[in-house]
């Protein structure tokens, strides 16, 4: 994989470009994709953003979101666009399988593949150009860096800034995680100078849910949360019936796992949700407990040191039992 700086000269002439991200895109995935999109179209590129799946309604306010193609809804159209693309930017994922059913089209496309990501252990052999920096707060911060080191930094306008701020803010827990470095805060200050209205973004992200989500969170905390004090661990399981009962949509469980770390003394939080096709895990930790390695070792997942995800094809009951059975071997690390 060559450095992403080596790609920059190719962006000086118009090309057909696709931007994609991981399935069920969050604020950082959608923000980085749309921020890059809004910058590239100013350079007269023909740009299409393809999401492997649908996304949360609270992201629909973002500039350009109405132009994003949902691959699961428009597979033939999206595949045709990917096959004709000269360049495909792959944002906020480190391996092709994180694009779910879009993976086949992504692998078959003759386009140049470009990685911009901050997750551990990227599949660098798959990408032609790219940058992978795990210390970065977000992929949005990395897109910001790319724009600033190009010859077209002056095209970073308010729309681009709004998209990039979204991922910077959400992936740092509103700037409370360790990845919120001084350089990130300087970048945010620059975005403010451009005209960024951050209160509007916070409101759209955090204050636009329906009543049923709040009732669902209360139900889950009361009935589905278990604190395992011997291991300083808190685990929550969500049944498929719970999702139906409260009419839970994509994005409604976003941030639920973070509640688990708010319990005094808890160092490891785990959330498992019973989806139709599989059980999806979210892991969070405090301090030096590595949930990336935990997820990779036991649940076919990965991510960051203190935030990772995983999956299981087993039943909800069995995968929950497996999780609990693993804790004794990590007891010393969780003290």
pLDDT in tens, 181-225: 999 999 999 999 999 999 999 999 999 888 999 999 999 999 999
Per the structure block, which two tokens stand in for 15? 């090309």
Place of tokens 């969170």: 217
- Most distant pair of Cα atoms in the chain: their distance: 60
Strand-pair partners of 51: 70
pLDDT in tens, 251-307: 899 889 999 999 999 999 999 999 878 999 999 999 999 999 999 999 999 888 999
Whether 220 and 238 have beta carbons less than 8 Å apart is answered as yes
CB atoms within 10 A of CB 67: 12
pLDDT at 154 over 90: yes
Query: H-helix or E-strand containing 268?
Result: strand 268-274
d(CA 237, CA 243): 11
Per the structure block, which two tokens stand in for 193? 């100078």
DSSP string, 227-263: EEGGGTEEEEEE-HHHHHHTT--TTTTTTGGGGGGGS
- Strands 302-303, 307-312: pairing is antiparallel
Place of tokens 């039943």: 315
pLDDT in tens, 25-78: 999 999 999 999 999 999 999 999 999 999 999 999 999 999 999 999 999 999
3-state secondary structure of 65: helix
Whether 28 and 170 have beta carbons less than 8 Å apart is answered as yes
Q: How far, in whole angstroms, is CA 65 from its chain's centroid?
A: 16
Instruction: Name the burial class of residue 229, with classes exposed (0-12), middle (13-18) and buried (19+) by CB atoms within 10 angstroms of its CB.
Output: exposed
Domains annotated for the chain, with CATH where assigned, are 2-206 (3.90.1640.10), 211-330 (3.10.310.30)
């Amino acid at each position: 994989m060559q450095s992403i700086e080596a790609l920059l000269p190719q962006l000086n002439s118009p090309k057909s470009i696709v931007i994609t991200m991981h399935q069920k895109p969050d604020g950082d995935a959608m923000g980085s994709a749309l921020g890059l999109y809004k910058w590239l179209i100013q350079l007269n590129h023909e740009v299409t953003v393809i999401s492997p799946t649908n996304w949360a309604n609270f992201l629909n306010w973002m500039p350009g979101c109405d132009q994003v193609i949902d691959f699961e809804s428009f597979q033939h159209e999206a595949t045709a666009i990917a096959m004709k693309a000269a360049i495909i930017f792959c944002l906020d994922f480190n391996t092709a399988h994180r694009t779910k059913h879009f993976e086949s089209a992504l692998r078959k496309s003759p386009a140049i593949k470009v990685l911009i990501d901050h997750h551990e252990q990227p599949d660098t052999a798959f990408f032609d150009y790219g940058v992978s920096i795990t210390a970065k707060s977000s992929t949005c911060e990395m897109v910001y860096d790319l724009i600033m080191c190009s010859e077209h930094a002056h095209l970073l306008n308010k729309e681009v800034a709004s998209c990039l701020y979204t991922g910077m803010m959400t992936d740092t827990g509103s700037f409370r995680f360790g990845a919120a470095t001084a350089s990130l805060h300087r970048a945010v200050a620059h975005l403010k100078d451009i005209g960024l209205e951050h209160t509007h973004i916070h409101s759209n992200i955090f204050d636009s849910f329906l009543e049923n989500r709040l009732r669902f969170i209360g139900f889950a905390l009361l009935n589905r949360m278990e604190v395992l004090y011997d291991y300083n661990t808190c685990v929550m399981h969500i049944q498929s019936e719970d999702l139906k009962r409260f009419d839970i949509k994509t994005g409604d469980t976003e941030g639920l796992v973070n509640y688990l770390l708010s319990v005094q003394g808890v160092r490891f939080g785990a959330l498992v949700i019973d989806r139709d096709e599989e059980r999806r895990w979210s892991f969070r930790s405090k301090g030096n407990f590595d949930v990336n390695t935990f997820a990779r070792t036991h649940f076919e997942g990965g991510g960051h040191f203190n935030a990772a995800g995983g999956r299981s094809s087993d039943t909800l009951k069995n995968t929950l039992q497996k999780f609990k059975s693993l804790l004794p071997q990590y007891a010393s690390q969780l003290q």
